[in-house]
Each structure stands twice: as structure tokens, then as C-alpha cells.
Amino acid sequence: MKGTSGYCTITFWTLIVNYGNLQSAVISMTRDCASKISAATPGKFLLLQFAMSQVTQIGDSISNLIAQVNSVISNAIKNQRTQ
């Protein structure tokens, strides 16, 4: 999405929705691979494993982002109380 200042902006809602879509795609890939196990190739398993690791890394990044935002908010509240 293009913001009014010309920079690209993203919302938590967009981030979470797209992450959910990515998780759904990996689940679909897993089901497809499992339903055709006799036709599965090492390459398909490798791609599935790579997709799973990407979803895990993105989930960890989202979790870290939320923790950082929470920390900033907590620090802002602490700073207001001391004034």
C-alpha cells in the first residue's frame, strides 16, 4: 500500500492476514504431498520443508515485532509516570 508520504506502509492486520494465508498455503501443500505419497519426490519434500521453515521464521519475526512494540509502549507509559 502506498502511503500519503510516498513510503510503503503496512498494518498489523495486513501482516497477520497475509501470514494466515501463507500458513494455509503450506497446509495445502502438505495435504497434497501426503495424499500423493507414492508420487512424492525428494524435491517436493525439500520444497515443503523450505516452505515450513519460512512460515516459522515469519511467525518468529511477527512475534518479535509485537514484543518490541509492547516494549516501546511500556517504556512510554513508564516515562509518563515519572514526569
CB proximity list for 16: less than 8 A, separation 6 or greater: 62
pLDDT in tens, 25-36: 999 999 988 898
Confidence at residue 44, expressed as pLDDT on a 0 to 100 scale? 87
Structural domains present in the chain? 12-82 (1.20.58)
d(CA 6, CA 59) in angstroms, rounded, equals: 28
Confidence at residue 83, expressed as pLDDT on a 0 to 100 scale? 61
Confidence at residue 27, expressed as pLDDT on a 0 to 100 scale? 95
Please give the single-letter amino acid code of residue 32: D
Which segments of the chain have a pLDDT < 70? 1-5, 82-83
